[in-house]
C-alpha cells in the first residue's frame, strides 16, 4: 500500500511543532433558554479558552455526534471512542447500531467465530441461550429487530431453549410504550413455540425476567451497583415477584407503583411447566448474550458475568457461562472478551500516514483516556506504526471518584507536554484532557466547574509554551458533556426541576457541537474552508495534514482550512 503524501505547493507547513489538544467532554452549549444554569464552562469562565474563541481567526464549531461519527442518526450521542476514531481516521466509519445492522444484513454476525461457538455449545450440550438487553426500537442502546434476528437464527440453528431477560425502556421511546415492544416480542416467541410443535421440535422460547432500565441491570459509571445486583439476581436466579408472562407483569406493576416503564420494579416469569418456579434461570454451561450495542450501560452487567475478582456486589451464584456482548463495550479493558460484532476495520489513519512520511509523533494522556489517543486514534490498533518515530506516554490516573479530584492529571499532562515541546524532538503531538468528560459524568456541577478551571489553567501554560517554541496549537473536543450538566425540556429548552426544586442532573454526553481553534504564527495565511458545509470531527485529520504541509489522501474528508 502506498502511504506517500504529496507536499502542498503553496505551504511548507508549520515551522515549529504542531500540538493537538483534545478537551474531552467540553462542548459548546446551544440550548434555547437564556441564563441556563448548568453550563460548567460558562460558570468556570475559562479565560484562556475564551480568549482563543474570541480572538483567533480560525474558530468554528464541529459536529461530534450522530452521523458525523458513524452513529445511525443525529439523535445518537457521540462518545470518546467513536470521536477519536473519527479524528484519527479522517473519515467516518459505521459504529453502533449501523454496524450491527450491516453485520446482520450481510450475515457476517452469524458467520463469526463467537456466534458459532455460542450455537455449537447450545446445540451440543442442550443448554439455553439467554439474551439480556433493552427491549425497544429506541436505537440508542439496542433495537428490537436485532434481538428478533438473533432469536430467529437460534431457531434455525436448532437451539431448543431461548430466554429473554428484557429491560423496559420508556426513556428513548415514549414513557408508557413497553406493552407494544414486549407484545411484539411475546408474539414472536409464541410463533416459534407453535412452529416447533408443528415440526416436532422442542422450543422453550420465553421472556424470563425484566424490569425498568433505570432500576434494573443498566447502571453506568458505577453510580449504583444495586441496580445491577437486582437485575443480575433476577436474571440468574429468578429472584423477584412471579408473573405468568411479561405483559401481565408490566400491567400489574404499573397499576401498583404508578411508575413509568423505565422505573418499574424487576419481575420474573413463572415456568408454565413448573408452577412457582422461574422459567429461565442461568446455570453453568449456558450461553448469555448482552444484545445492547451501546457500551455505557452494558459494561457493569458484563463485568458481573465475566470477572473472577468482582467487587461490585456479592454474587449469590456465579454460573460459568459463555458470555458475549453485541459489541466490545470498553476498548481499554476489553470488556467483554467475547463479542458478536467486531469494531470497524479502520486503516490508513493519520498516524500511519505520518509514520510512513518520517514525521515524529508524541501521544499523551492519563490512564482514563490513554487508549483514546493511542488505540482508538489509530483505528482500534494498539500497536505503534513506527517505534523509532512514535512516543506514547501514560500518566496513571488517581483511583478516587472524579468529583473528589476534579483536577485529575491535567497539571501533570501539561507539564509533560511542555517538556516534550521544549525537547524539540516531535513534529506532531496529540494530548487529551479527560476532565470535562469524566467529571461531567458524575453529575456534580461544582466539581465540573473546578475541572474546567484546572484544564483552562493547563491550556494557558500550553499556549505560552507553544508561543515560546514557535509552534502551532489546535484545540478541539471529542464530544460534549460538562457544558450541559442539567437536563432540559426538549420543547422549551428550560432546565428540568426535580423533587424539592433542584435541577435534574444530566450525566450523559450531549448533542452539542465542539470547538475547533487554530493558534499560531501562520494563521493570517489560513481561511475557513466554506466548501465544508457541515464540518465534523472527521475533517480534523486533513486539516492537520495541511498544517504539516501535506495534501490529504483522496478519500479523507476535506480540510477545514484553505491556505494561501
| Residues forming the active site | 80
Dihedral sign for Cα atoms in the order 223, 227, 233, 234: negative
Q: What is the DSSP letter of 376?
A: I
Report d(CA 145, CA 147) in Å as an integer: 5
User: 56 near 517, Cβ under 8 Å?
Assistant: yes
C-alpha cell at position 240? 423477584
C-alpha cell at position 248? 401481565
Residue 504 CB coordination number (10 Å): 15
Residue 325: beta bridge partners? Answer: 290, 339
**Coil, helix or strand at residue 89:** helix
Q: How many residues does the chain have?
A: 564
Q: Which of 173, 273, 254 is nearest to 210 (CA)?
A: 254
- DSSP letters spanning 469-536: HT-EEEEE-SSB-TT--B-B-TTT-PBPB-GGGPBPB--S-BS--EEEEEESTTGGGEEE-TT-SS-B
Cis amide prior to 336 (ω within 30 degrees):
yes
Q: Which of 405, 409, 415, 410 is nearest to 396 (CA)?
A: 409
User: 151 near 303, Cβ under 8 Å?
Assistant: no
Question: Pairing state of beta strands 129-134 and 287-290?
Answer: parallel
R_g over Cα of the chain: 25
Report d(CA 491, CA 494) in Å as an integer: 8
Residue 43 CB coordination number (10 Å): 18
Q: Which of 332, 329, 271 is nearest to 302 (CA)?
A: 329
Report d(CA 546, CA 177) in Å as an integer: 50
Report d(CA 110, CA 100) in Å as an integer: 11
Report d(CA 558, CA 540) in Å as an integer: 8
User: 144 near 185, Cβ under 8 Å?
Assistant: yes
Residue 133: beta bridge partners? Answer: 166
Q: Is 312 exposed, middle or buried (0-12, 13-18, 19+ CB in 10 A)?
A: middle
**Neighbour-count burial for 315-326, b at 16+ CB within 10 Å, e otherwise:** beeebebbbbbb
Amino acid at each position: 500500500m502506498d502511504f506517500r503524501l504529496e507536499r502542498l505547493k503553496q505551504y511548507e507547513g508549520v515551522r515549529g511543532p504542531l500540538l493537538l489538544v483534545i478537551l474531552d467532554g467540553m462542548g459548546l452549549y446551544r440550548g434555547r433558554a437564556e441564563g441556563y444554569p448548568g453550563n460548567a464552562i460558562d460558570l468556570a469562565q475559562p479565560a484562556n479558552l475564551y480568549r482563543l474563541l474570541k480572538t483567533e481567526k480560525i474558530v468554528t464549531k464541529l459536529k461530534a455526534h450522530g452521523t458525523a461519527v458513524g452513529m445511525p442518526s443525529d439523535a445518537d450521542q457521540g462518545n470518546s471512542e467513536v470521536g477519536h476514531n473519527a479524528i484519527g481516521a479522517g473519515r467516518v466509519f459505521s459504529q453502533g447500531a449501523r454496524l450491527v445492522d450491516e453485520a446482520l444484513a450481510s450475515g457476517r454476525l452469524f458467520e463469526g467465530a463467537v456466534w458459532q461457538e455460542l450455537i455449537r455449545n447450545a446445540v451440543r450440550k442442550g443448554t439455553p441461550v439467554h439474551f439480556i438487553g433493552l427491549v425497544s426500537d429506541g436505537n440508542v442502546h439496542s433495537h428490537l429487530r436485532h434481538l428478533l434476528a438473533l432469536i430467529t437464527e437460534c431457531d434455525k440453528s436448532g437451539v431448543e431453549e431461548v430466554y429473554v431477560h428484557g429491560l423496559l425502556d420508556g426513556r428513548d421511546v415514549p414513557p408508557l410504550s413497553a406493552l407494544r415492544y414486549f407484545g411484539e416480542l411475546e408474539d414472536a416467541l409464541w410463533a416459534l413455540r407453535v412452529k416447533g410443535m408443528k415440526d416436532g421440535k422442542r422450543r422453550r422460547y420465553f421472556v424470563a425476567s425484566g424490569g425498568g432500565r433505570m432500576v434494573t441491570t443498566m447502571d453506568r459509571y458505577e453510580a449504583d451497583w444495586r441496580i445491577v445486583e437486582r437485575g443480575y439476581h433476577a436474571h440468574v436466579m429468578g429472584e423477584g415477584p412471579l408473573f405468568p408472562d411479561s405483559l401481565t407483569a408490566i400491567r400489574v406493576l404499573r397499576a401498583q407503583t404508578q411508575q413509568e416503564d423505565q422505573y418499574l420494579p424487576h419481575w420474573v416469569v413463572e415456568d408454565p411447566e413448573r408452577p412457582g418456579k422461574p422459567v429461565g434461570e442461568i446455570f453453568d454451561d449456558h450461553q448469555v448474550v448482552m444484545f445492547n450495542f451501546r457500551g455505557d450501560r452494558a459494561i457493569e452487567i458484563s463485568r458481573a458475568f465475566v470477572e473472577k475478582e468482582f467487587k461490585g456486589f456479592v454474587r449469590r451464584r456465579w454460573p460459568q457461562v459463555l458470555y458475549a456482548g453485541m459489541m466490545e463495550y470498553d476498548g481499554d479493558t476489553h470488556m467483554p472478551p467475547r463479542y458478536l460484532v467486531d469494531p470497524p476495520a479502520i486503516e490508513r489513519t493519520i498516524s500511519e500516514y505520518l509514520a510512513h512520511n518520517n514525521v515524529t509523533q508524541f501521544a499523551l494522556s492519563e490512564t482514563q483516556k490513554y487508549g483514546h489517543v493511542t488505540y482508538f486514534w489509530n483505528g482500534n490498533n494498539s500497536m505503534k506504526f513506527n517505534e523509532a518515530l512514535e512516543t506514547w506516554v501514560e500518566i496513571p490516573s488517581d483511583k478516587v471518584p472524579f468529583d473528589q479530584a476534579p483536577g485529575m492529571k491535567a497539571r501533570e499532562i501539561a507539564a509533560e507536554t511542555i517538556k516534550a515541546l521544549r525537547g524539540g524532538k516531535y513534529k506532531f503531538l496529540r494530548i487529551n484532557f479527560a476532565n470535562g468528560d469524566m467529571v461531567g459524568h458524575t453529575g456534580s456541577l461544582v466539581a465540573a466547574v473546578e475541572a474546567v478551571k484546572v484544564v483552562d489553567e493547563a491550556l494557558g501554560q500550553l499556549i505560552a509554551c507553544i508561543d515560546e517554541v514557535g509552534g502551532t496549537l489546535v484545540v478541539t473536543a471529542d464530544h460534549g458533556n460538562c457544558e450541559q450538566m442539567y437536563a432540559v425540556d426538549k420543547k422549551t429548552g428550560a432546565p428540568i426541576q426535580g423533587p424539592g426544586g433542584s435541577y435534574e442532573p444530566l450525566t450523559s454526553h450531549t448533542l452539542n457541537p465542539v470547538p475547533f481553534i487554530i493558534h499560531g504564527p501562520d494563521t493570517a495565511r489560513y481561511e475557513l474552508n466554506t466548501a465544508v458545509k457541515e464540518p465534523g470531527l472527521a475533517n480534523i485529520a486533513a486539516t492537520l495534514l495541511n498544517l504539516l504541509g501535506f495534501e490529504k489522501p483522496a478519500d479523507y474528508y476535506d480540510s477545514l482550512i484553505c491556505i494561501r
